[in-house]
A = this chain, B = another copy of it.
Amino acid sequence: MDKFKRMPKHIGVIPDGNRRWAVGQGLPKKDGYNHGIDPGLDLYEACLKLGVEEMTFYGFTMDNVKRPSLQTKAFQKACVDSVNELKKRDADLMVIGNTDSKVFPKELLPYAMKRTRFGEGKMKVNFLVNYGWNWDLNYALNSEKTIESGNLINHIASKDISRMDMVLRWGGRRRLSGFLPIQSIYSDIYVIDEFWPDYKDQHLFGALEWYQKTDVTLGG
């Protein structure tokens, strides 16, 4: 893997296309989510090997839970199952999302808004669960320090998630869909047309090959 001389420290992941994949397989839409767990673990393992220091997975949003109840239950379960699998690995885990709602899975409450180290805690892994971009930003208004400092960035709900160097989106859509608006400000965005359940390590390698050729200006 020596060819990846320039590595992103933090990779964001938008695992889109689960429902479209299920439809293509002749399955009910809700069945797609369960097929999105193993790809996440494969991607985590591949990134860990390559030395990625932090990953953030876009689990589900406060908008997503307006979907049919069977789908909502399916992606809630997929998030819980994914976290349970990560607990068996070396992840320094943090779940970020609005816990002040029934749709936030109670199994994930112990990991919300703080880091928990599993195994050797080799990589920071952030999981967005019942996340909302406006919830994230408006969270800063709860802190007196926001007003005192005149700077809300340090007080948003996701303040402990660092800037993302690269965002990978599966499923072909070329947009961020509310994924961490502050941390994605300078991110390079790479879109993979295949649906998330069809994840292959080659997708990651393709993204990294492309990343070698971009430069980082941070808006300068």
Which A positions have Cβ atoms within 8 angstroms of B?
A: 61, 63-64, 66-67, 133-134, 137-138, 140-141, 146-147, 150-153, 173-178, 181-182, 184-190, 214, 217-220
Interface centre among A147, A214, A219 (most CB of B within 10 A): A219
Question: Which of B175, B178, B186, B214 is in CB contact (< 8 Å) with A178?
Answer: B186
The answer to whether B189 touches A174, judged by C-beta atoms less than 8 angstroms apart, is yes
How many copies, total?
2
The answer to whether B63 touches A218, judged by C-beta atoms less than 8 angstroms apart, is yes
How far, in angstroms, from A66 to B217 measured CA to CA in the complex? 12
- Residues of A contacting B: mostly: loop
**In the complex, what residues of B have CB within 8 A of residue A173's CB?**
188, 214
**Contacts A141-B146, A220-B64 given; does A185 touch B133 at CB 8 Å:** yes
Q: Give chain B nearest CB distance to A70 CB in angstroms.
A: 16
The answer to whether A184 touches B176, judged by C-beta atoms less than 8 angstroms apart, is yes
Question: Which of B134, B147, B214, B220 is in CB contact (< 8 Å) with A147?
Answer: B147
